Amino acid sequence: MRFPAFLASAAVLALSPSLGLSSMVWAQTPDPLPKTINVKTNIYYFQGEQALAEALKRTPNTGRAKNIILFIGDGMGINSVTAGRIFAGQQRGLDGASYELSFDKLPYSGFSKTYSTDRLVTDSANGISAITTGVKTINGAIGVDGTVVGPRCRGSLKARVPTLAEEAKLAGLSAGVVTTAGITDATPAGAYGHTPYRGWRADSDMTAEAIENGCIDLARQLVEAPAAIRMDVALGGDLTKFVPDNDPRKGNRADGRDLTAEWLKQTPTATYVTGAKDLAAIDPTKTDHLLGLFADGDLPSPVDTAEHYDVPTLDEMTAKAIDVLAKNPKGYFLLVESASIDKWHHQNNAYHALTDVDELSKAVQVAMDKTDAADTLIIVTADHSHGLVLTGGSTREEPIMGLARNHGKDSLDGNGQPYTTLSYATGPGGPKGGPGRSAPTEEEATSPGYTQPALVYTDSAQHAGEDVPVYAGGPQAHLLSGTIESSFIYQVMAHALGFK
């Protein structure tokens, strides 16, 4: 049913006791004879009826999961979801406020408490570690419990906690990780890594104490893991962490090892690719062990793809990973991270950050299309939030990236200056060494390279500590509702796979 545009405009409605539920009246009207409209022609009432009908048909799937796909929107707090939804809709020429991201359609949702054992506000290391191991740890640590002490190796080997990906492998399933960051960054390392310090990504990053006490870097952990727990698919960036410093590819490994060559020697069907075209050409029926490193560090943003034409998108990597892993009749576990939400929030660049919320939505849609909700548990959540603020002042047709405007007229702050709809609590957009920034123009504020204003200046925006959303569908998804600990997500996934 298509509704006239005026029915979708904001109107204050109230139920009329005299007319019953079949009619509504304007809450405040100078007309002594209230004007009535049939609720069946009101778009919000109609949508509500449809949503209720769908909800009443919903039956929790209490069966076992064959597959689990865990999506992490790094730094994707609830404001990032809301602003990302609006931005995605507006980019398509649609009403942003009513637009739906793919994961908005998952039937169950809740909130996750993300704090670490030592901080009110977590980093990505503890954030993902709690989700993949069921155990919270200190900020900066991955795959170990909270007894570790910062970047110190001594004693940390005893603190190791297995990840769900490793447990899945031991149970005969396949496992993989996909990210738009470097593959040794904190979140992807949450699938396979165990370290008291997330910064030990290549051997050249490590301290003498760490090496003396038996710790190894995360790139080696990915490649050297015993076959019984080794990842079958790893797609992302970080080429420099895998090749030596005397290599033409300009790596930064000090041990002289080429880990990409070692990956290829591990199985007869191992493959290594460095570009989108090569990834697309992979025949999943002939590949069981896939490594893709598509950048020296993090992958570039899709906003800048004109400069980086041979870099795969998150949905393309997700599709290929599923194709390779799904050959296992026992099932698989896949961790997918949209990392650049966080990377660009740190720079107070909302345009790039919210573009990657949309990229996450596309990847989730691919996973929905390629799997069966009857046997695949899909979870979408975040490791932590960011201090993004969506401020009032704009009417719905105004671009969320621009100035706060009322039907084209600038809304003004208490100083008589225009202000942006989006801003941050901390970051490089804050005032530095003097008075605040001058007011931007609309053209400046809507530019992809614009740095949104921040309240407090820091070189890199700080994470935020509010609970983050969790969306789920498939076997045992109904358990992910209400307000939960981030570590509880592991319990649900392990239960769904029959490990509990």
| 163 falls within a domain | yes
- Which pLDDT tens digits describe the chain residue by residue (500 residues)? 333 343 343 333 333 333 333 333 334 445 555 556 676 688 899 899 999 999 999 999 999 999 999 999 999 999 999 999 999 999 999 999 999 999 999 999 999 999 999 999 999 999 999 999 999 999 999 999 999 999 999 999 999 999 999 999 999 999 999 999 999 999 999 999 999 999 999 999 999 999 999 999 999 999 999 999 999 999 999 999 999 999 899 999 999 999 999 999 999 999 999 999 999 999 999 999 999 999 999 999 999 876 667 999 999 999 999 999 999 999 999 999 999 999 999 999 999 999 999 999 999 999 999 999 999 999 999 999 999 999 999 999 999 999 999 999 999 999 999 999 999 999 999 998 766 678 899 999 999 999 999 999 999 999 999 999 999 999 999 999 999 999 999 999 999 999 97
Rounded Cα–Cα distance for residues 131 and 146 (Å): 14
Domain C-terminal end among 15, 32, 56: 56
DSSP percent split of the chain into helix, strand, coil, nearest 5: 30, 20, 45
| Claim to verify: residue 113 and residue 24 sit in the same structural domain | no
| Claim to verify: residue 76 and residue 48 sit in the same structural domain | no
| 211 falls within a domain | yes
Give 236's DSSP letter.
E
| 101 falls within a domain | yes
| Claim to verify: residue 137 and residue 190 sit in the same structural domain | yes
| 325 falls within a domain | yes
Domain C-terminal end among 33, 56, 79: 56
CA distances for 167 relative to 231, 271, 321, 393, angstroms: 11, 24, 19, 50
| Claim to verify: residue 203 and residue 257 sit in the same structural domain | yes
Q: Are strands 67-73 and 20-26 parallel, antiparallel or unpaired?
A: unpaired
Beta-bridged to residue 70, according to DSSP, are 335, 379
pLDDT of res. 432: 85
**Number of independent structural domains in the chain:** 2
Rounded Cα–Cα distance for residues 332 and 70 (Å): 11
Q: Which entry of 80, 102, 124, 361 is annotated as an active-site residue?
A: 124
Cβ atoms of residues 115 and 383 within 8 Å = no
Beta-bridged to residue 268, according to DSSP, are none
Cβ atoms of residues 484 and 471 within 8 Å = no
| Claim to verify: residue 279 and residue 357 sit in the same structural domain | yes
Contacts of 337 (CB under 8 A, 6+ apart): 71, 72, 73, 74, 177, 178, 179, 180, 181, 187, 188
80 tagged catalytic: no
| Claim to verify: residue 171 and residue 284 sit in the same structural domain | yes
Give the structural domain span for 48. 5-56
| Claim to verify: residue 29 and residue 169 sit in the same structural domain | no
Q: pTM of the full predicted structure?
A: 0.91
Tokens found for residue 385 = 């939030």
| 419 falls within a domain | no
| Claim to verify: residue 84 and residue 45 sit in the same structural domain | no
| Claim to verify: residue 105 and residue 38 sit in the same structural domain | no
Burial-class residue 388 by CB neighbours within 10 Å (0-12, 13-18, 19+): buried
| 117 falls within a domain | yes
pLDDT of res. 14: 34
Domain C-terminal end among 14, 34, 56: 56
Beta-bridged to residue 426, according to DSSP, are 456
CA distances for 379 relative to 105, 313, 468, 471, 492, angstroms: 12, 20, 13, 6, 10
| Claim to verify: residue 131 and residue 37 sit in the same structural domain | no
| Claim to verify: residue 34 and residue 143 sit in the same structural domain | no
| Claim to verify: residue 147 and residue 46 sit in the same structural domain | no
| 405 falls within a domain | no
Which of helix, strand or coil describes residue 461?
Answer: coil
| 222 falls within a domain | yes
Instruction: Report the length, in residues, of the chain.
Output: 500
